Amino acid sequence: MTIELRTVSVDDWRDWRTLRLAALTDAPGAFGSRLQDWADAPDDRWRDRLSSPGAIDLLAVNIDGNVPVGMATGTPSTGRASPAELISLWVDPTVRSRGVASALITAIAQWAATTGAATLALSVMADNVAARRTYEKNGFTLSDEPGELLPGGQRKLVMLRGLSPERTGTD
């Protein structure tokens, strides 16, 4: 399997939609969005999702069949001391443990460093052990910062990764 990362634009919304709906179906508890919020979303909502100012949206494509198999978004920092953020990371279960997540994380980290961000942040569900291990393998550590409060009183965990030049690749 050969993976190519592609930066997507509003014109690629159909490919993004297909993968995002697969992600929300596969891992409904891993994201802030819910499948029912997006399943019947109009085309313009998908285009809007891919037009966030300063953000980067990536698809990992298996070029052997030209099939998207992963996705991630990087959002820019909102101020001098705030981190850039990695959101919407998902990899198709059929290709997990093959480096797709690491490739996406590395690309987002490199992009974030070029925007001047010193840190890359993400939120993850506390019980998503596989995702946490992937993030740790890619240089993220748990933060003391409280994550988003979820229904039921649980909080997401916040993980951070420094973006000094020597830290933009995988460890």
Task: List C-alpha distances in Å: 160 to 20, 58, 80, 121.
Answer: 24, 20, 16, 5
- Complete domains list, the chain, with CATH: 3-167 (3.40.630.30)
pLDDT tens, position by position, 100-138: 999 999 999 999 999 999 999 999 998 899 999 999 999
Beta-strand pair 67-75/56-62: antiparallel
| Coil/strand/helix, residue 19 | helix
Work out the pLDDT band at 90, boundaries 50, 70, 90: very high
Angle between helices 100-114 and 129-137 (to 10 degrees): 60
